[in-house]
Every structure is written in structure tokens, then in C-alpha cells.
Amino acid sequence: MKLKIVFAAALLAVGLSVNAQTIIKFSHVVAADTPKGKAAEFFAKKAAELTKGKVKVEVYANSSLYKDGEEMSSLQLGSVQMLAPSLAKFGPLGVKEFEAFDFPFMFDNYTELHKITQGPVGAALLTKLEPKGIKGLAYWDNGFKSFSANTPLKNVADYKGKKFRIQSSKVLEEEIRSVGGIPQVMAFSEVYQALQTGVVDGTENPISNFYTQKMYEVQKHLSLTNHGYLGYAVIVNKKFWDGLPADIRGELDQAMKEATVYANQIAQEENDKALEAVRKSGKTEVYTPTKEERMALKKAMAPVHIKMADRVGKETLQQFYQATGFDPTKL
């Protein structure tokens, strides 16, 4: 009898371990139909494929699991395993070097950006998350931000006195102040309503967010300023990640590698498609600033680089300037 019970228990244990499936909850705040949303789905599919179903990645889009203000602490607590927050979200966590990504006009294009995100400087930045219990796996692109409002935004004076929603970043606060605007920090999921009800006058976004959050319904003007970058770091709870069996972690690393190539391939295209859709909607007037107008904005925002240098750290900033060739003192 005793032997039978032991035998049955052993069978059950084997059965359980054969069927054991690791669940990774991957939460993010944007629509599924965006560069980040699509890359998250791609990763989930690849992870299932490469681990032969041993890992199931559940993707929660559009702040359906956590809002952007709640994501990070939930990851640290382990109630969610994977996130891809925008790089601006690491400053409030205390890793201020990441705010270098928020500096206005830091990058002119993806090529300059990739010198940081795909190189040693970007990799070193990710390791700074480890004391916070976070492991950084990759950088995923979104794109360059443009300003929107209900009134035209052509000249620097047009920003004066307007309330702009920004992410929680001291650098972005200074960016808005540098043109006489009033920064208003707010969770991403609340932006549409805030624009609709006039709680804020405008905001800044890559076009993929502007389109998929339907901001074009409640903003009459979009000025293609491309004045700053918004992209992501894919991160995991370090304890969870380190605790995975090495073979599974290796397969997930491979899935992440492939998802990163995919993410960075589609980012520009997704933003271009979104712009086309905004134009087609006929609800927002899309304006391309002249060279002079864009330069005036760049000059107005240049002091942000000087003012916020100590906060981010001169060493990090110099590494960025070296990669991009940008020199705020030469404007």
C-alpha cells in the first residue's frame, strides 16, 4: 500500500514537471498596433516556439494590467515579469543617466541613436538597473516626438502659456519651460481624456502613439518637430530571470534578439503609416516646420542641455554628444 502511494506521488511529480509551464506577464501601456505592441507579440510567439511551449508570454497591452506609474514597482515586486517602459521612466526610478535620452534634439535620426542603444554606452546603462532588481535585455525603438495642440505650433511664441502633458521627467519639464509652456506630468492612459476635456492643451508623442491613442480626434494641430526621441528598454525582474533554467533563459535571449531586430525594423515604418492615417483622418492639420522654424525651436531648447547636465551626469552626456555630434553650445 505504502509503495503504491509513493509510486503514485512520483508519477504525479513527473507529470507536473513535464507540464510545468513558465508564465511571463509582459505589460505595456501602448496599443497592440504600435512598434512596441507588435514587437511584444512577436517575442511572445518566438518564446513559445523556441522553448517548445515551456514558456508562455502573456502580453497585456494598453495599460490593461498596469498604468505607466505602477508598472515599475510591480516589476520590482515580481507581480509582473517583463515590461518595456519608455527610457524616460528610469529617471524617476533613480537612474538619472537615462534622462540623457530625453534631451531635446539630442538625436537627428535612428543611426545616431543606435550608436548609443546598440553599442557599449547603452549596454553599460542597462547594468545600472541591476541594483534596483531589474535586468535590462534590449532597447526597442519607437521614434521621434512631435508636438500637438488645438492651436497652430509654428513659432516658439506659439508654445507660450500652453499646458503640455509630458512623461514624468525633469528634463522634459525643462524642455517645456524653455519655450514658455507649462509642463503637466500625467499617465499615458489619461492623456486622451485630458486633451478632450482641455485639462491640458497639447502633448508630445511619436506619431504611432498619437494615432493609436486617437489623439488626432482631440488635437487640431500636429507640428512635425521631431524634437526628441521616445523609445524603450525591455526589462525583467532580475530574480525571476536569474532563477530560470539556463537552457530556457538562452532560448528566451534568442527570442529577444530576434524580437529586437524586428522591433527596430518596423519602428520607422509604423510611424510613417500612422502619419499617413492621421493625414487621412482629416481631423488634425499636419504642419511641417520650415528649417528656420525648427532651428528656432532647437535654439530655444538648447539651454536645457546646460541646465540639466549635472542631473544626468556630465560623463554620460559627453558619451552621447560624442556619438551624435550634437553640441548645444554651438547653436
- Interaction site with ligand LMR (CB under 6 A): 29-30, 68, 86, 142, 167, 188, 209, 230
* Minimum CB distance to ligand LMR smaller for 68 or for 293: 68
Cell triple for residue 222? 500636429
Residues contacting 51, CB < 8 A, separation 6+: 248, 251, 252, 255
* Minimum CB distance to ligand LMR smaller for 63 or for 324: 63
CB 287 within 8 A of CB 154: yes
- Shortest Cβ distance from residue 125 to ligand LMR (Å)? 17
* Minimum CB distance to ligand LMR smaller for 29 or for 116: 29
Distance in angstroms (rounded) separating the CA atoms of residues 27 and 273: 24
- Shortest Cβ distance from residue 315 to ligand LMR (Å)? 26
Distance in angstroms (rounded) separating the CA atoms of residues 305 and 295: 16
CA 161 to chain centre: 28
- Shortest Cβ distance from residue 68 to ligand LMR (Å)? 5
Distance in angstroms (rounded) separating the CA atoms of residues 325 and 318: 10
Distance in angstroms (rounded) separating the CA atoms of residues 134 and 144: 26
End-to-end alpha carbon distance in the chain: 86
- Shortest Cβ distance from residue 205 to ligand LMR (Å)? 6
Cell triple for residue 37? 505592441
* Minimum CB distance to ligand LMR smaller for 29 or for 100: 29
CA neighbor of 316 nearest in space, from 131, 172, 125: 125
* Minimum CB distance to ligand LMR smaller for 30 or for 129: 30
- Shortest Cβ distance from residue 9 to ligand LMR (Å)? 47
- Shortest Cβ distance from residue 272 to ligand LMR (Å)? 17
* Minimum CB distance to ligand LMR smaller for 251 or for 270: 270
